[in-house]
């Protein structure tokens, strides 16, 4: 029971806050409950397909292949693959983190994982096509170029900022 409370402490606190708000301010509590319900339904619709794809990725792609194409020595090829994987992905950003965990477990470099997460969040192909139709190709290309530069800079800074102990902890958490 103690482990359960420790593991779900934040969830239980938020649940208690929601109930408290519902009692004190019923109208706001109802809106809060509706938003929570909508978010839960969205997550339940997104998470199962992501985990199915993760299972397939885990089975179909062996570690040697992942290291070859996105590992530390993959170079430009690894960067391009990380960008393409992130840009072609569908779903909200929270779905990228389990995929990143599998990439780490399979031997991808942290730099390429950071690029993958950055690409997932900012360079999705459907978003680019909508953006080009709505705001024009010049805006879309400018934003895409700046996003790619930003992703590369953030990935490089994040990669360099981690010391050996932090890297080991990340790899240990993803075993």
Looking at residue 162, its pLDDT comes to 94
Cα–Cα distance measured from residue 31 to residue 75, given in angstroms and rounded to the nearest whole number: 49
Residue 70 and residue 110 in contact, taking contact as beta carbons nearer than 8 Å: no
The 10s digit of each residue's pLDDT in 43-61 is: 888 888 888 888 888 888 8
Local structure of residue 104 (DSSP, 8 states): H
Q: Indicate the domain borders of the chain.
A: 1-46, 61-173
Segments of the chain with pLDDT less than 70: none
CA angle (10, 15, 18) in 5-degree steps? 125
Local structure of residue 71 (DSSP, 8 states): S
19-24 contacts, C-beta under 8 A, 24 or more apart: none
């Amino acid at each position: 029971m103690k482990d359960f409370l420790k593991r779900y402490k934040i969830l239980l606190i938020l649940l208690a806050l929601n109930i408290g708000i519902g009692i004190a301010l019923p109208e706001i509590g109802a809106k809060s409950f509706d938003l929570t319900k909508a978010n839960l339904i969205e997550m339940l619709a997104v998470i199962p397909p992501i985990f199915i794809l993760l299972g397939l990725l885990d089975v179909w792609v062996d570690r040697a292949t992942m290291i070859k194409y996105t590992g530390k020595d993959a170079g430009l090829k690894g960067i391009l693959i990380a960008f393409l994987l992130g840009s072609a992905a569908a779903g909200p950003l929270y779905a990228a983190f389990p995929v990143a965990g599998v990439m780490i477990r399979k031997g991808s470099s942290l730099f390429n994982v950071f690029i993958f997460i950055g690409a997932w969040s900012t360079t999705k192909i459907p978003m680019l096509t909508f953006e080009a139709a709505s705001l024009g190709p010049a805006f879309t290309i400018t934003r895409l170029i700046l996003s790619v530069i930003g992703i590369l800079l953030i990935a490089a800074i994040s990669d360099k900022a981690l010391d050996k102990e932090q890297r080991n902890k990340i790899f240990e958490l993803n075993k």
